[in-house]
Amino acid sequence: MRLAVMFCVAFLLICGCSPVTAEAPITPPVVHISPALDSKRARPDRGLMISATGGTLSNVQAYQGGEPVPGRLDRSRTIWRSDWTLKPAAEYTVTATAVGTRGPATVAVGRFRTRPAERTFGIAATAPLPGETVGTGMPIIIDFDTPVTDKAAVEQALEVEAGQPVEGAWRWTSDTQAVYRTRSFWAPRQRVTVTAHLAGLRLPGGVYGAADSTFAFIVGRDQTSVIDTRTHQMVVQRDGAVAERMAISAGMATTREYTTTSGVHLTMDKGNPVRMVSPGRQEGEPGYYDMMIDHAVRISNTGEYVHAKDNVWAQGRENVSHGCVNARPDQAAWFYATSLRGDAITITGTDRELEWNNGWGFWQLPWEKWIQGSALRTTDSARDWVPQR
């Protein structure tokens, strides 16, 4: 009997020394999508975000109207965000795959729809025009059809891609206009693409961007001119070599109005002929004029042109104009034919300085002052998780 008891104890002891282990259950990763799949009125201004819990994202595909939605993963590969806001009243399809260290993957597939926009804003005009070939000093000017009340958000949605990248910044010249200027002139002979990612961008008051807008232009040859009003000479250089020397006559400087402005001008447009009328004077008053001028290239908003004038007696010798720069008709015709919008013309020798906002006098501002007009550099543009580049 005693032996039997000892056996039982021994048996119990042996059994107690043998641990019983059970494998931990395998939990598949979880995929979260915002806006939620099957949403019918998702907010377009919040973009698209996909995240994984308990794993990493191995594949994300999002489409709208057959076009992929641009986006990117973070460094941990657990969060994917769209680069930009979403288009209003549009349907999106999403496929996202998350994988763990072991076990099955999780695949989330579905669609959602964004709410329509009752009030919209967009682009009214641009310079350069799509496909235009311009000079190396050319700014990018975007005019909006609605006053922009959140300039930082809109500026953040404006993308400039150049064949030869250069530093540049936007400056707001009004509530409806933004201007992009490079720190130094564009490199010649390259393509520049501008995209305004406005679709779904929300302004205060429930105003949404209706659609994205893209246009491209070409930077042509490098042509710059220097005009010295004291020596009455104009030198045109193309790609670093002198292309033309022209005797000129500038403003007579008897009044501020008749004084040619000094500074870095840009060619803005041209006409042949252009009607020129004396500002602030009526017919019969002293100084009144109304004439048609040939081969006129505009360089400011205060009536300054480089144009043809058959007064060779003054050109190269004396300044007798009403503020414009005139040259011999055949040379003015050559300059007219070879000028592109955005060519730089530097004028020296007068006591009237070109204002930075007179026409396209943007190069009159030092870079440090130019960037002060950027909404992104003067305000905190962080907002929830709105896509940022």
Q: Please check whether residues 136 and 214 belong to one and the same domain.
A: yes
pTM attached to this predicted model: 0.86
Which three-class secondary structure string do you get for 1-36? Answer: CHHHHHHHHHHHHHHHCCCCCCCCCCCCCEEEEECC
- Is the alpha carbon torsion for 140, 146, 148, 150 positive or negative? negative
Q: Please check whether residues 66 and 155 belong to one and the same domain.
A: no
Q: Give the active site residues.
A: 307, 324
Q: For 197-316, list the strands marked E by DSSP.
A: 202-203, 207-209, 213-219, 223-228, 233-238, 241-249, 263-266, 269-271, 274-277, 290-293, 296-298, 305-308
Q: For 185-212, how does the pLDDT look when each residue is reduced to its tens digit (9 = 90+)?
A: 999 999 999 999 999 999 998 899 999 9
Mean pLDDT of 327-348: 98
Task: Look up residue 106 and give its amino acid.
Answer: T
- Judge whether residue 23 has pLDDT over 90: no
Residue-range definition of the domain harbouring residue 44: 30-113
CATH of the domain at 138: 2.60.40.3710
- Judge whether residue 379 has pLDDT over 60: no
Q: pLDDT value at position 21?
A: 53
Query: Per the structure, how many domains does the chain have?
Result: 3
Burial of 307 (0-12, 13-18, 19+ CB in 10 A): buried
Q: For 310-321, how does the pLDDT look when each residue is reduced to its tens digit (9 = 90+)?
A: 999 999 999 999
β-partners of residue 142 are: 126, 178
- Judge whether residue 17 has pLDDT over 70: no
* Two tokens, residue 160: 């400039």
**Coil, helix or strand at residue 278:** coil
Q: Is residue 380 part of a domain?
A: no
Q: Is residue 92 part of a domain?
A: yes
Contact 203, 176 (CB under 8 A): no
Q: For 105-126, how does the pLDDT look when each residue is reduced to its tens digit (9 = 90+)?
A: 999 999 999 999 999 999 999 9
Q: Please check whether residues 165 and 236 belong to one and the same domain.
A: no
Q: Please check whether residues 79 and 91 belong to one and the same domain.
A: yes
Mean pLDDT of 254-280: 93
Q: Is residue 379 part of a domain?
A: no
Pairing status of strand 133-134 against strand 213-219: parallel
Q: Please check whether residues 180 and 191 belong to one and the same domain.
A: yes
Q: For 273-331, how does the pLDDT look when each residue is reduced to its tens digit (9 = 90+)?
A: 999 988 777 787 777 888 899 999 999 999 999 999 999 999 999 999 999 999 999 99
Q: pLDDT value at position 32?
A: 97
Q: pLDDT value at position 382?
A: 36
Q: Please check whether residues 123 and 68 belong to one and the same domain.
A: no
Q: Is residue 1 part of a domain?
A: no
